[in-house]
Structure 1
Amino acid sequence: MTDVPDPPDERVGRARPLDRLLLRPEIGALLGAVLVFAFFSATTGQFLSAGGVATWLDDASTLGIAAVAVALLMIGGEFDLSAGVMTASTALVTAILATRLGWNVWLALLASLAFALAVGALNGWLVLRTGLPSFIVTLGTFLALQGLNLGVTRLVTGTVQVSGMRSADGYASAGFVFASTFTLGGAAFPVSIAWWVAVTVVASVVLLRTRFGNWIFAVGGSATAARAVGVPVARTKVLLFTTTAGAAWLVGSTTILRFTSVQANQGIGLEFQFIIAAVIGGCLLTGGFGSAVGAAIGALIFGMARQGIVYANWDSDWFQLFLGVMLLAAVLVNNALRRRAERVRR
């Protein structure tokens, strides 16, 4: 009598390829990006030209740098409404120190970075110390920075603008690092695109391949449970807030060195674009689920749609409609993918 092999245990069976694919938070954003790319490629002639590609990648790059950092913070269960105005604050600090006090641009950049990290750490400390929602704490920081930007700029310059960076000591070398261009296909591509790619790669490696990345998912899923198993919740959240502030500094530095001037009211409203890009990229508003690559793709959708609408000669007001539809669709898709991922893991 021959032995009949036991059937495989369904509990240890491998997930199907489609199910494994649906475990990725960024899959919805990737499909959306393909649709947006295909639509504007078919309807506009300039969209796929070298100059067109450079334009929408440029648009997406600075948004994407901050959106990736905001995505990490959202996965950790928090929000930062001060990230947008922080881009202007850091640019103003750099510009005032370099043009009014005669500092070398590199020293001014280091000082503005220290300022950004301090504000980010303060945000994190206040959230943990007071127990208030990060939405409220960073809204207060947003208003404080907005007033500080306007007040200090008027006090120093008598206007709401700081300019003259091009004549500051060290501008040439700093501008090469943060605001230069490289030629590809006959079009000039800004170096901010390379920064965007680098930030996305580093954030993805940290999130998926390091202990700190596991901590981010843990504190976003349940801070109480994470603390019970030894995750340093306070340190993780403070580091996430400082990371967001650091990304805002990078965007602000790119802006001031590229355009050589900055307005005191610049950056207001960008915080919502950062959050929307992260949500489109797969982040849940409840935390514990998301992707750095997804946030970068969300920013890419922004850039393609915003410039595609221009190339199609549509009224720019349609972009706001697009944002609203994309946000609602992303929330619905993300929730559905999350539920599907949970069933697959069982």
Structure 2
Amino acid sequence: AVGFLNGYIVVKTGLPSFIVSLAFLFILRGLTIALSIALTNKTIISGVGNLAEGDWLGAIFGGQIGTEFFIWLAKMGWIETYSDGSPIVAGIPMVVVWWFLLTAACSFVLLRTRFGNWIFASGGDANAAKNVGVPTDNVKIILFMFTAFCATVFAACQVLEFGSAAADRGLLKEFEAIIAAVIGGALLTGGYGSVIGAFFGALIFGVVQMGIFFTGVDSDWFRVFLGVMLLIAVLFNNFIRKKVTSAR
């Protein structure tokens, strides 16, 4: 519903998508914190994991798969174990499973369907796409709704993984998402990019973040890396775009 409202405002007013999305981000974040304090007098709601334990829907978002396989790996001595013999890695978290499933589904839609062509056309030149019969307004609204759906899936996975809902969780994630997409080859001007590219952009982002953490390097260097990678990615993407357009 929030995604529909964002998309509807964008197509009816002609305002930039980024501005409308950013405005609603602050509205929702402010409402979440204010209502959490007003209703519960705190910004963290704990005990969610206990309530979801044993629930089939909770397992879809907060469970793990392959636990028996990782127990077998631990018995074979191929992965580290705790003092009680249980594997350090208990299984593949569902947030990773959702990541792969959404990547596969979205990549198929973008590259193999008519709707995928509509997405590229609407992002590249909305007026030209509309002139050849592409329902650009509907495409944009659907994409806003799907983006909201993906955000909801990730939020549900986080809440069930940590066992609590924190009103202030997710700060600056909006910019990290943009950086991951740009590193993956997407152009902010629209019309160019791929789901697989965004997939590897997020992978690079996550690997570097965890690598800096485990090596004990000051976390401030991670932000330096993000800024440098973003600048390099934008320059490289702009260079490729100019090469492609000049070749035409």
Common fold, TM-score beyond 0.5?
yes
Structure 1 residue aligned with 2:143: 240
Structure 2 residue aligned with 1:315: 218
Residue in structure 2 matching 1:221, options 124, 136, 140:
124
Higher RCO (CA < 8 A, seq sep 6+):
1
Shift of 1:307: 1.1
Shift of 1:258: 1.4
2:22 is aligned with 1:119: no
**Inter-partner Cα distance in structure 2 for 1:245 and 1:328:** 27
Cα RMSD of the aligned pairs, angstroms, is 1.6
What stretches of structure 1 of length at least 5 have no aligned partner?
1-117
Cα contact 2:94–2:157 (8 A) shared by 1? no
TM-score (norm 2): 0.87
Which structure would you say has the larger Rg? 1
Residue in structure 2 matching 1:202, options 75, 100, 105:
105
* Alignment map for 1:13-24 (pairs within 5 Å): none
* Aligned residues with identical type, % of pairs: 48
Structure 2 residue aligned with 1:152: 35
What stretches of structure 2 of length at least 5 have no aligned partner?
75-88
Residue in structure 1 matching 2:94, options 179, 191, 199:
191
TM-score (norm 1): 0.63
**Inter-partner Cα distance in structure 2 for 1:259 and 1:314:** 25
**Residues 263, 169 of structure 1: alpha-carbon distance in 2 compared, 3 angstrom cutoff:** closer
Structure 2 residue aligned with 1:273: 176
* Alignment map for 1:1-346 (pairs within 5 Å): 118-168=1-51, 172-181=55-64, 182-183=66-67, 184=70, 185-186=73-74, 187-188=89-90, 189-343=92-246, 346=248
Structure 2 residue aligned with 1:100: none
**Inter-partner Cα distance in structure 2 for 1:169 and 1:287:** 40
Cα contact 2:61–2:156 (8 A) shared by 1? yes
**Inter-partner Cα distance in structure 2 for 1:311 and 1:259:** 20
Query: Residue 202 of structure 2 aligns to a residue in which SS?
Result: helix
**Inter-partner Cα distance in structure 1 for 2:16 and 2:244:** 28
**Aligned AA (1:212):** F
**Aligned AA (1:316):** S
**Aligned AA (1:190):** P
**Residues 322, 124 of structure 1: alpha-carbon distance in 2 compared, 3 angstrom cutoff:** same
Shift of 1:337: 2.1
Cα contact 1:280–1:298 (8 A) shared by 2? yes
**Residues 261, 171 of structure 1: alpha-carbon distance in 2 compared, 3 angstrom cutoff:** farther
Shift of 1:311: 2.5
Shift of 1:131: 1.4
**Inter-partner Cα distance in structure 2 for 1:172 and 1:153:** 25
**Inter-partner Cα distance in structure 2 for 1:210 and 1:120:** 23
Cα contact 1:200–1:296 (8 A) shared by 2? yes
**Residues 282, 169 of structure 1: alpha-carbon distance in 2 compared, 3 angstrom cutoff:** closer
**Residues 270, 244 of structure 1: alpha-carbon distance in 2 compared, 3 angstrom cutoff:** same
Query: Residue 55 of structure 2 aligns to a residue in which SS?
Result: helix
**Inter-partner Cα distance in structure 1 for 2:132 and 2:54:** 49
Q: Number of residues paired by the alignment?
A: 228
**Aligned AA (2:99):** W
**Aligned AA (1:119):** V
**Residues 171, 123 of structure 1: alpha-carbon distance in 2 compared, 3 angstrom cutoff:** farther
Query: Residue 169 of structure 2 aligns to a residue in which SS?
Result: coil
**Aligned AA (1:273):** E
**Inter-partner Cα distance in structure 2 for 1:205 and 1:169:** 33
For residues 108-141 of structure 1, give each alpha carbon's deviation from its aligned partner in whole angstroms, at most 9, with x where no partner exists. xxxxxxxxxx000000000111111112212221
**Inter-partner Cα distance in structure 2 for 1:332 and 1:297:** 18
Shift of 1:166: 3.1
